[in-house]
Amino acid sequence: PSSAGKHRTSQKTPLYSFKNIPVSNYLYFALQWNKRNNLLSHHLIVLNYLICTFDKLKSVSSEDIKITDAVFDGVEVRVFEPPAKGDESLKRSVVYIHGGGWALASASSLYNNLCRIMAESLNAVVVSVEYRLVPKVWFPEQYHDALRATRHFLQPDVLAEYSVDPSRIAISGDSAGGNLAAAVCQQLSKDEDLPVRPKLQALIYPVLQAFDFNTPSYQQNMNMPVLPRYVMINYWIDYINGNYDLAHELLINNHTALNVGRALSFRARLNWTSLLPPSFKKNYKPVVQRMLLGLGPAEQFAPLCPGSGTLR
């Protein structure tokens, strides 16, 4: 982020209008109001506390799944191991990175049951990464946590400890976790010293790009409950510890290049909308960028933006 985006500035309280706003967004507006008035230390801390408090689960094993907490290269993980079946010696495995806007949820709360069910239904060893969250850390620390934990797990002696088949390992994640999973996979694909590589990646509604906040899906769902477009933009800003004054620039795609030519060249290479069938585009109206600033190293920050060779 630019020097202007490194520090948040105090502002006068905006007068929000709650007319026609979905009920599910009231909490977000309340937390935003409190945050801007310094009544809460940080809205994400409070929101994450509410989410995790109601679903905090200890690592309790059962007859079906063994659950243990471990530390992989300084990163906390929760490991789900199904029992051996018959003559099976090695199991497949999934490294799972949870979603939550790089700021919410936990491997030990909302994603505990998901990973347990995944381990049981797939008969796979599931490693759920407990990466650090905003506002304790910002980009690229979430990425570094996920990468370190995954690299540690891929070491032959660690795979042997958990009876994992080195040729049957997947990396998966949802939402912001899909962003981290894709970025980790891209880095691992270039790591020449890595003895074992993932077999595949499985991305679940991943957040892969911050280049265009006016894609057909953003335009069609800009006011949908739970995750309207302005909330997604604020998650991106929180991720880079940026300045909320820039939110409007992101909203109108005025944030991606220092000059028009560079923006147009980048768009020509990454014109994802052209790949959509007409039924998905509906009333799509492209919003062309003008100028402002780059958000961060593309391959780590927005995994859909690297060169074509990496994606292949």
pLDDT for 42: 53
pLDDT for 24: 42
**Neighbouring-strand partners of residue 70:** 77
Taking the C-alpha atoms of residue 153 and residue 157, their distance in angstroms, rounded to an integer, is: 9
Taking the C-alpha atoms of residue 288 and residue 218, their distance in angstroms, rounded to an integer, is: 15
- Parallel, antiparallel or unpaired: strands 124-130 and 75-81: antiparallel
CB-hemisphere CA count at 13 Å for 110? 13
> Which residue among 17, 163, 175, 189 is the active-site one?
175
**Neighbouring-strand partners of residue 79:** 68, 127
For the chain, 312 residues long, give each residue's pLDDT as a single digit of tens.
433 333 333 333 333 333 444 434 444 554 454 444 433 335 666 666 666 665 555 556 667 899 999 999 999 999 999 998 877 789 999 999 999 999 999 999 889 999 999 999 999 999 999 999 999 999 999 999 999 999 999 999 999 999 999 999 999 999 999 999 999 999 999 999 999 999 999 999 999 999 889 999 999 999 998 889 999 999 999 999 988 888 999 999 888 665 666 666 666 666 778 889 999 998 888 886 554 445 455 678 778 766 656 666
CATH architecture of the domain with range 66-204 = 3-Layer(aba) Sandwich (3.40)
Classify burial at 128, counting beta carbons within 10 Å of its beta carbon; exposed 0-12, middle 13-18, buried 19 or more. Answer: buried
pLDDT for 296: 52
Residues 6+ apart with CB under 8 A from 60: 67
What is the tens place of the pLDDT at every residue in 222-260? 999 888 999 999 999 999 998 888 899 999 988 866 566
Can you give the three-state secondary structure of 237-283, one letter per residue? Answer: HHHCCCCHHHHHHHHCCCCCCCCHHHHHHHHHHCCHHHHCCHHHHCC
- Parallel, antiparallel or unpaired: strands 164-174 and 200-204: parallel
Taken in order 149, 235, 186, 136, is the CA torsion positive or negative?
negative
- Parallel, antiparallel or unpaired: strands 124-130 and 164-174: unpaired
The residue ranges of every structural domain in the chain are 3-16+211-294, 66-204
Q: Are 291 and 254 in contact (CB under 8 A)?
A: yes
Integer-rounded Cα Rg, in Å, for the chain is 21
Q: How many C-beta atoms lie closer than 10 Å to residue 59's C-beta?
A: 15
Q: How far is CA 147 from the centre of its chain?
A: 13
Of all helices (H) and strands (E), which one includes residue 308? helix 308-311
Q: In the chain, at which residue ranges do the beta strands (DSSP E only) sit?
A: 66-72, 75-81, 91-97, 124-130, 164-174, 200-204
What is the tens place of the pLDDT at every residue in 30-73? 445 444 443 333 566 666 666 666 555 555 666 789 999 999 99
The structure's pTM equals 0.79
Nearest residue to 81 (alpha-carbon basis) of 67, 97, 95: 67
Nearest residue to 146 (alpha-carbon basis) of 187, 175, 90: 187
Q: Are 102 and 181 in contact (CB under 8 A)?
A: no
175 is annotated as an active-site residue: yes
Taking the C-alpha atoms of residue 141 and residue 21, their distance in angstroms, rounded to an integer, is: 34
